[in-house]
Amino acid sequence: MLLKLIAGLTDRANRFQAAIKLAGYFNCSYLFIFIIDQEIGILLPAPGFPPTLPDGRAWQAFINSCPATGHYSGCLPFPESNNMLAATGISGPERSIAILLGGSPSEKEIEPLQAVLPMLVDLFTQELLLSTAKTRVALADKAVAKAEKLAATMDVMRLHLKDALIQKEKDKKAIEELMKKKDEFMNVASHELKTPITTMKAYLQILQKMVPPNGTASAGDFIVKANKQIVKLTGLVDDLLDVTKIYAGKMVYQFSDIDLAALIEEIVSQTQLTVQTHRIVIKNNAPVIVHGEKHRLEQVLSNFLSNAVKYSPGANEVVISSDLVNNEVKVSVRDFGIGIPPDQQEYVFDRFFRVQESSRKFSGLGLGLYISAEIIKRHGGSVGVESDGNGSEFYFKIPVVKVLQPA
């Protein structure tokens, strides 16, 4: 009879009904079989058994409430059922089942179960192996998916973190760079402003001693020298003020039509008066009218020329040329001086920039080219430089309004 009841369990479709019949044999209300995978610590209803207990309780909650040893409300709790398996010598990671009995059976009534337990285990072994393997694969798949998701999230977080750190580092560097530039500039500016003042002071002291009674002629020399320094000082202060104006967007321009060739001639002869070391040669002077502010274009030409002279101490000539190129005029100033290293050429129009190698030898604030570039930009033009070991050529291009015909 018992064997027949056990055989009824082979039909998976009607397994639960067969299990209830078998339970009746032990005077129990139901018999529930679980598969135990001890290795990965999972316990699931065997195939053909419902996901909840017949009385509607969730089996997980019920099992959790079972004491570690002994019977519980007439049921055979798991530790004992495992012990029974162990006693038959067939318990193992993938070959265990647990049996839960409903009702209040006595020890005696469930005793025959021990004898048929090996048969029950055999019956479920195949399914058990299959189902645990499937469960493991499903669990592993789930774990892999979870791990992949986690890894992706961590990757994104890592990138965000990296970005944030890089940004922070960049901000810090930019501020440090700015502070450094400011300090350097203040240093240079105060030095540059102090030099002419000190020189002027000295000349004026000498003058005081000399006048009267003797040597008014040399007094005149000193006055000329003091005046030169005043001009230099005024230039420096003007440049600083221009930068402030550019920065605040308050540089005002008054445009008019200008005869550029005449302007170049004028500025060249003016500059030549103050330069004894170099001859300033006009190679070509395109007869063009441009639209601009005379004083500001003069300033650009003067900056280019004074740089050309300053940075070519070993040379004796500077060449200026004005050429018509399409609808623009290109004005270039060529010197035969120290040149600019290729990796620094792109920065020469930057505010406060000075080529490091030469900055100690030559005085300056690093503002002339920056101001020039700003002025040319406001004239709708562009600036540039070409330089090599033989010297440099600075140029600007601005639109031409009219080309004058030769008279």
Which stretch in 89-97, 102-110, 299-307, 378-386 sits in contact with Mg ion by CB under 5 A? Answer: 299-307
Q: Does 366 bind Mg ion (CB under 5 A)?
A: no
Among residues 337, 375, 395, 398, which is the contact residue for ligand ATP, using CB under 6 A? 337
394 and 333 Cβ atoms separated by less than 8 Å? yes
Q: Identify whether the C-beta of residue 336 lies closer than 8 Å to the C-beta of residue 311.
A: no
Count residues binding ligand ATP (CB under 6 A): 23
Q: Should residue 99 be labelled a site residue for ligand ATP when binding is judged by CB under 6 A?
A: no
Q: Quickly tell me which residue has 């996901």 as its tokens.
A: 51
Place of tokens 């299990």: 19
> CB of 152: closest distance to ligand ATP in angstroms?
51
368 binds Mg ion (CB under 5 A): yes
- The DSSP string of 267-332 is HHHHHHHH-SS-EEEEEEE--EEEEE-HHHHHHHHHHHHHHHHHT-TT--EEEEEEEEETTEEEEE
CA gap 372, 108 in Å, rounded: 110
222-241: contacts with ligand ATP (CB under 6 A): 239
CB of 267 to ligand ATP, least distance (A): 16
User: Judged by CB under 5 A, does residue 48 bind Mg ion?
Assistant: no
* Minimum CB distance to ligand ATP smaller for 94 or for 184: 184
Give the distance from CA 245 to its chain's centroid: 32
Judged by CB under 6 A, the residue of 278, 330, 354, 397 near ligand ATP is 354
Ramachandran area for residue 59 (φ above 0: left; ψ -120 to 50: alpha; else beta): alpha
- 278: contact with ligand ATP by CB under 6 A: no
322 touches ligand ATP by CB under 6 A:
no
Q: How many residues bind Mg ion (CB under 5 A)?
A: 2
Residue 355 touches which member of Mg ion, ligand ATP, none, C-beta under 5-8 Å by kind: ligand ATP
Q: Tokens standing for 101?
A: 């009995």
Q: What whole-number distance in Å separates Cα of residue 35 and Cα of residue 99?
A: 9
Is 340 an interacting residue with respect to ligand ATP (CB under 6 A)? yes
Name the residue nearer to ligand ATP (CB basis): 169 or 350: 350
Residue among 45, 358, 377, 401 that touches ligand ATP (CB under 6 A): 358
Identify the three-state secondary structure at position 37. Answer: strand
Q: Which is closer to Mg ion, CB of 85 or CB of 305?
A: 305
Residue 196 site contact among Mg ion, ligand ATP, none (CB < 5 to 8 Å, cut-off depends on kind): none
Which of 311, 320, 383, 397 forms a contact with ligand ATP (CB under 6 A)? 311
- Asked whether position 368 contacts ligand ATP by CB under 6 A, the answer is yes
> String of b and e for 242-273 (b: at least 16 CB within 10 Å)?
bbeebeeeebeeeeeebbbbebbeebbeebee
The verdict on 312 binding Mg ion (CB under 5 A) reads: no
DSSP 114-148: HHHHHHHHHHHHHHHHHHHHHHHHHHHHHHHHHHH
Q: What's the CA angle centered on 145, arms 144 and 149, to 5 degrees?
A: 115
User: How many Å apart are CA 22 and CA 108, to the nearest integer?
Assistant: 16
> Minimal CB distance to Mg ion: which residue?
368
Residues 23 and 31 sit within 8 Å (Cβ to Cβ)? yes
Choice between 59 and 304, CB closer to ligand ATP:
304
Binding region for ligand ATP (CB under 6 A) out of 17-25, 70-78, 139-147, 353-361: 353-361
Cα–Cα dist 95/79, whole Å: 15
């973190």: which residue's tokens? 161
Q: Which stretch binds ligand ATP (CB under 6 A): 97-105, 114-122, 242-250, 351-359?
A: 351-359
Shortest separation between residue 339's beta carbon and ligand ATP, angstroms: 6
Q: Which does 80 bind (CB under 5 to 8 A by kind): ligand ATP, Mg ion, none?
A: none
User: Distance between CA atoms of 111 and 105, rounded to whole angstroms?
Assistant: 10
Segment interacting with ligand ATP, rule: CB under 6 A, options 134-142, 163-171, 218-226, 330-338: 330-338
Q: Does 243 bind ligand ATP (CB under 6 A)?
A: no
Which positions touch ligand ATP (CB under 6 A)? Answer: 239, 303, 307-308, 311, 335, 337-338, 340, 348, 353-355, 358-359, 364-370, 392
Task: Using CB under 5 A, list all residues that contact Mg ion.
Answer: 307, 368
